[in-house]
Structure 1
Amino acid sequence: MRTIDWVDGAIELVDQTRLPDECVTVRITTVDELIGAIRRLAVRGAPALGVAGALGVVLAGGDHDAIARLRAARPTAVNLGWGVDQAAAWLAQGREAVLATALRIRDEDIAACVAMGERGADLLAPAETTGRLRIMTICNTGALAAVERGTALGVVQTLHERGRLAEVLALETRPLLQGARLTCWELGRMGARHRLVTDGAGPYLLAGGGIDAVLIGADRIAANGDTANKIGSYALALGAARAGVPFFVVAPETTIDFATPSGEHIEIEDRGPEEVVTVRGVRVAPEGTGAVNPAFDVTPHDLITAIITDKRVIRP
């Protein structure tokens, strides 16, 4: 199964808002439909957004206003704008050239996820060692965040396939529960042992011992190695540093933004109060309650053991 693909002249993608209750594929034929899907998180995850951005340019044709609106649909994830720019650079050569570029980006993302999985598994569990690892992760970084396999969860999948995975502790990831809804769904499909953990319990469990590594993804990596990822990642990094647990960021090279000097220059998306004061449409706070809802936080590079990309291992 692919999270996103080009099929018979349109984008087809898994509607992640419907999981885990049902796995539904929706067909996108206009840029406005794609922007709506991105904003409501029907498609999400840095690599998947890069592919969505490139394919969206095919739908846009020569409509530069639509392309600009697509590029700005989510401000924190660098891959969306990157994918749009890569495809838009071929507009003068015609639609077929744009489509060929978008499909190349799709195929390169698949290859990158395989490479990240292998490089990460080699780093965490070298062939000359034995034993199985307990991994903690946050949000969703599997195939649903890419086209196939994924980033941090792609490493987990490779460890599982090699018989080196003991268990995954997946943080639920408030407020939209991507860990509970999506990561646990993917881990179940791959047959990997896993348990769900509340966000606030993560650092405490790290302090208690028994966790071999924390693996997260990234939506943007600044030039100095600071990383923006799902809110709660920074707390895990602090907990891991205190407990002496290695903390790894797994992301493709395309997520590194050399135009952003450091984490303080990353724009953090605030998604408004509704996602916090309600849970899946059910109100959990009194009427009139406001909320602060940053979708991401920034982990400073000095808390990161290594950044694992499809090309290399970076040790900030």
Structure 2
Amino acid sequence: MQAIRLSRFGGPEVLESIEMPIPSPGAGEALIRMRAAGVNYFEVLLRQNRYAVTPDLPMVLGVEVAGIVEVLGPGVTAPAIGTRVAAPLFAMGRAGGYAEHVLADASQLVALPEGLAFETAVGLMVQGLTALHLTRRSVPEGKSVLITAAAGGVGSLLIQLARSAGAHLVIAAAGSAEKCDLARSLGADVAVDYANPGWAQEVLAATGGQGVDIAYDLVGGAQAGESLGVLAPAGELMFTAMGRFELGRQELEALLGRNQSLKGFALLPLLTQGNLGADLEDLFTRNLQGKLKLISGGHFPLARVAEAHAVLESRRSTGKIVLTA
């Protein structure tokens, strides 16, 4: 089978296509024929050795796959061979999604409803679950919210989920006029281009000078300080960008002095075997009902993975980038 191996850190060109034996599933496992695999920004950071954790190399990246069950391991009776499934490898502590065949824990596979494309299922896994749990960790009902990276995979879904959860005012921040237009089309009341030095004043103006009740910071770095600057007294800064925390003591002291709170967000500890399947089924159903639109950032054959990484790394893309096989 074809797989994409990371043997050294560097640019997109270090991702190499290799031939590997098709693995055999062990007890409790199923072999999945990959039809779509998600590409995530944290994988760009892993490839560059800029993530919060340095991975052991060599490795095959990829933590979310949709495909077809081909072989069941000893003692496994479900899901049946031929079933279309979502394989949330990230919840299983696994990787290896950038490959034509993938091993997964059979008990954590989620059957895809009829009519849901493999590419859509992949886009609703890491990004969909992240957006859903963000609205649970900092509930937007009746509040004004700021969503950064609003045209990205998480941001584009979070706009819609915050709106459906009853947000009073949804302000989207994105990196171009086109991305701002996309955010408005998804339900944002206001969209600001943070390539514009005056974007923070636009956010404050939209809230009557009060600031937002919740800032969902999906970017980190210097962006976190700017998001903090438009946060209302007693507001919440929800920080999701692992490995890119740059708030200093002065900013944190100012936060405390304004009765504001900083919340960290890590998806994996929030997932349980009990809620994972139900949450994915909820997201899949919303999409099929037309209540949650997935924005495609492009589909790339597995052999063009370097191009997919380059597009994501450039920040030119919107929505979800997917590999196909």
Give TM-score, length-normalised by structure 2. Answer: 0.41
Q: Which has the higher contact order (CA 8 A, sep 6+)?
A: 2
Q: Which of 1 and 2 has greater Rg?
A: 2
Which protein has the bigger strand share? Answer: 2
